[in-house]
Chains A and B, each alone.
Chain A
Amino acid sequence: MGRILIVDDTMFMRTLLKNILFSGGHDIVGEAADGAEAVARYQELKPDLVTMDVVMPKVNGIEALKAIKAADPAAKVIMCTAVGQEQMVKLAVKSGARGYIVKPFQAPKVLEEVKNVLSA
């Protein structure tokens, strides 16, 4: 089970992910609503894993991912993209993302992906 930071600009998606991850026994150590906040919260909380939305105001998910990886190359980040943003996935992989989930998602598959990334 891991300590997880959830990053998404909509409260609805953050709450949904929080419920899914909590039901899988994970500890939600923090939330962030944009990329800049995500980078700051990562430094502060040092979570085992981050779920990172791609499209966010101010600093987007890819930029936040790059900043987190620059500060901690071992950081484990799973990107959350909407359907149709698959091109972003390649960019995210190049930038060091360990996994990706596509919205809308189903709880068991999210938990499976989180487990895979945490155990890698």
Chain B
Amino acid sequence: MGAMKSVPVKVEHEGKWIPTTMGIAEDRFRIDAPLNQVIFYKSVVDLDEKKNQVIITAGGEGEAVYRIASVEKVLRIVKRFIITQASAYRLNAFFMSPAIRGGVLVQNTQWEKGVIAVMKTGIWFVSQEKQVCILLDEVTGIELTSREIQEKNLDVVKIDHLAENEVVTSFVLCPLTTLQVLYNFLKEATDETEVREEIDPLTGQVAMLVYSGMDSSTIENMLKLAHKDLDAVYESLLDSGLAEVLYIRKEIQLTPKGVRYISESVKSSID
């Protein structure tokens, strides 16, 4: 066991953020009072992150969740140790993330050599430069496909996922047998979002327009749909779990009082 380096952090304890110190070694980390816990990276079963904090779930007898907030440099070191040692399906691979964002190819993106760890709720890519997490419940598509890399067509796994409300595509490249294991695992882990329903062409077009960011009135105009027809398509998208209600907007007409207000305001502006 190497020497532990202590760094200041905050930990969540009984609903409050408490300043404390954290010791980081190569095979474990320690959280000082009030938690007084030593956790081996290999006992970690899940890792998630939010701005300036990591959420670490350690296994063993009853899972324990640790929320730790610190500066980015400290969190990067902790995450790297966890991703490379945690109890997870792990493989060495090349990855490109993000490769496509919102339909636009990301400029200057490149293949990075690193480690991929598939944890309970997310897939982590870690290289010298990057640490990327794709949450499994934000994966929108998995495909075993091929891609031209250095003049050769090579097998890759393509992962479409949401990141800050944008649709992002990432690629993983490794030997085919490993790719198939990864692909099968991800297919199973994201089985809930697989589309099994038959989608009629009109519903498909509406879904495509919603994806592109069109609002209801634009969709009505584009597809020459009456309000109630679009509502029926929305209902079908909602029923099949392909969409969720963002908000409900009212269509209104003026009362006699409203009409009077408008008439008077026009009169006063003419005066």
Contact = CB atoms under 8 A, between A and B. Distances in A.
Closest 8 CB pairs of A and B: A105-B103, A109-B102, A106-B102, A107-B213, A109-B104, A113-B104, A102-B103, A87-B148
The A contact surface, by secondary structure, is: helix
Given A12-B205, A102-B103, A106-B166, 10 more contacts: A15-B222, A19-B214, A99-B104, A104-B103, A105-B103, A106-B213, A107-B214, A109-B103, A110-B102, A113-B104
Nearest to B145: A84
A106 B209 CA distance: 9
Given A16-B209, A19-B218, A86 B148 contact: yes
Interface string B134-170: 0000000000010110000000001000000011010
A89 interface: yes
Contact of B213 (A20, A83, A103): A20
Interface of A: 12, 15-16, 19-20, 83-84, 86-87, 89-90, 99-110, 112-113
B151 to A, nearest CB: 10
Contacts of A107: 212-214
B208 interface: yes
B101 A109 contact: yes
A106 B218 contact: no
Given A12-B205, A15-B222, A20 B212 contact: yes
A105 B102 contact: yes
